[in-house]
A = this chain, B = another copy of it.
């Protein structure tokens, strides 16, 4: 969404500006923002296989470059937020988080909590982090969102992507794809089981991995909503709790 995914290291500055404006207009309190890597982090991380962990010295410069690319993208985001009068402050995930096998093992939360207490808007991002087993790993924005929502006892999670939500098939290749407006954890688990059993690929267009990451937060009773942030005012409306088309993930009755 905030980068041009076809071109490495190319921001989508109009989208960044528009979203900063929507967030500013909504003016909600106790907001934490997390963005992904788009065409900044991913191509370099893939080139140096950072997600596989440390294998040899040739990856070392690749890790430095991945980190630096994420700083570059984050700087554009935070510059724009500040221009829209949002007291945005970067919290660099790799400076305060260590993963173990790619999962958050340790996080120093005090600076983040103190920022929220003082009514700043902390901004985090997917990042290349140190991993206690693998040397290094990629920490996705999705894992970070879910983990932060639990730690901070969030009211809700809003995920802005470039499609309307979870579809029964991939909307980018299937024009008859049906949007799933509500899904429960039980339904997601069944879908997961089906994918695992049949060794089928993720027919939803990569959305299922995102859903899986959000499940632990939803299990704690935090509602998660996936919306199309590429459509004007969707982020604004979601922040203001106005009606927006998308997919809502709810815990459902069985664990209530």
Shortest Cβ distance from residue A86 to the other chain B in the assembled complex, whole angstroms: 8
**In the complex, chain A residues 48-105 whose Cβ is within 8 Å of any chain B Cβ:** 54, 60-61, 63-65, 67-68, 71-72, 75, 78-79, 82, 85, 87-98
The answer to whether A187 has its CB under 8 Å from any CB of chain B is no
Residues 110-148 of A, flagged 1 when their CB comes within 8 A of B and 0 if not, give: 110011001110000000011010011000000000000
Complexed CA–CA distance, A106 and B110 (Å): 9
Complexed CA–CA distance, A243 and B173 (Å): 67
Contacts of A120 in B (CB 8 A): 60, 63-64
Contacts of A64 in B (CB 8 A): 78, 82, 87-89, 120
**In the complex, chain A residues 204-220 whose Cβ is within 8 Å of any chain B Cβ:** none
Contacts of A95 in B (CB 8 A): 90-93, 95-96, 108, 111
Complexed CA–CA distance, A90 and B92 (Å): 9
Would A87 and B72 count as touching, CB distance under 8 A? no
Would A79 and B68 count as touching, CB distance under 8 A? yes
Contacts of A88 in B (CB 8 A): 64
Complexed CA–CA distance, A110 and B75 (Å): 24
Asked if A60 meets B87 with Cβ closer than 8 Å, knowing A94-B111, A111-B130, A130-B111, the reply is yes
Complexed CA–CA distance, A75 and B114 (Å): 25
Shortest Cβ distance from residue A62 to the other chain B in the assembled complex, whole angstroms: 9
Contacts of A71 in B (CB 8 A): 71, 75, 78, 90
Contacts of A60 in B (CB 8 A): 87, 118-120
Asked if A87 meets B75 with Cβ closer than 8 Å, knowing A54-B118, A92-B95, A111-B95, the reply is no
A-B contact pairs, 12 of them (CB 8 A): A60-B119, A60-B120, A63-B87, A63-B120, A64-B82, A64-B120, A68-B79, A90-B95, A92-B95, A98-B114, A106-B108, A118-B135
